[in-house]
């Protein structure tokens, strides 16, 4: 499933006189309604929405509690954010790590991946066709975000 309309707030901090490379990340929050996720198969989407309790106003939300920037080479760095991820009204601590790059216009592009289990969030893996088809418990979340300066 994919969502290209995520509400994200990220506030990088910069050292005085070194405006091109961030030294910290003081705010990092993203959220989106479960209904924004799309697989291209509406019947499968419906089952996933039910499993993630979308009828109850379900949102997926990550709030960073602490983030660390590790400098890389050139215009690259990595970010590690410890925070809470909420799915289906269940809040769990997770660590998100992203590889980031400062672009010539000053924007920052960050990409990463994270593995989760649906059962950790109280989600029963959806089944289809009376159980003949079912999804696994493991999820891999790939993300790319672009933060404008």
Taking only the tens place, the pLDDT of each residue in 66-104 is: 999 999 999 999 999 999 999 888 899 999 999 999 999
- Options 3.40.50.300, 3.40.50.150, 3.40.1580.10, 2.40.128.110; which CATH number does 7-147 get? 2.40.128.110
Confidence (pTM): 0.83
**Cα 59–Cα 55–Cα 50 angle in degrees, nearest 5:** 90
Taking only the tens place, the pLDDT of each residue in 97-124 is: 999 999 999 899 999 999 999 889 888 8
CA distances to 80, 88, 145 from 8, in Å: 16, 19, 8
Where along the chain do its domains lie?
7-147
CA distances to 23, 32, 78 from 50, in Å: 41, 16, 35
């Amino acid at each position: 499933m994919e969502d290209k309309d995520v509400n994200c707030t990220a506030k990088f901090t910069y050292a005085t006189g070194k405006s091109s490379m961030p030294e910290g990340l003081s705010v990092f929050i993203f959220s989106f309604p479960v209904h924004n996720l799309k697989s291209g198969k509406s019947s499968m989407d419906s089952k996933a929405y039910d499993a993630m309790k979308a009828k109850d106003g379900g949102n997926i939300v990550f709030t960073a509690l602490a983030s660390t920037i590790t400098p890389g080479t050139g215009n690259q760095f990595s970010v590690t954010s410890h925070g809470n991820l909420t799915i289906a009204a269940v809040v769990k601590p997770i660590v998100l790590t992203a590889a980031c790059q400062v672009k010539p216009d000053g924007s920052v592009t960050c990409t990463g991946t994270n593995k989760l289990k649906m059962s950790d969030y109280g989600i029963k893996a959806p089944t289809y066709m009376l159980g003949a088809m079912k999804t696994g418990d493991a999820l891999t979340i790939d993300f790319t975000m672009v933060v404008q300066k």
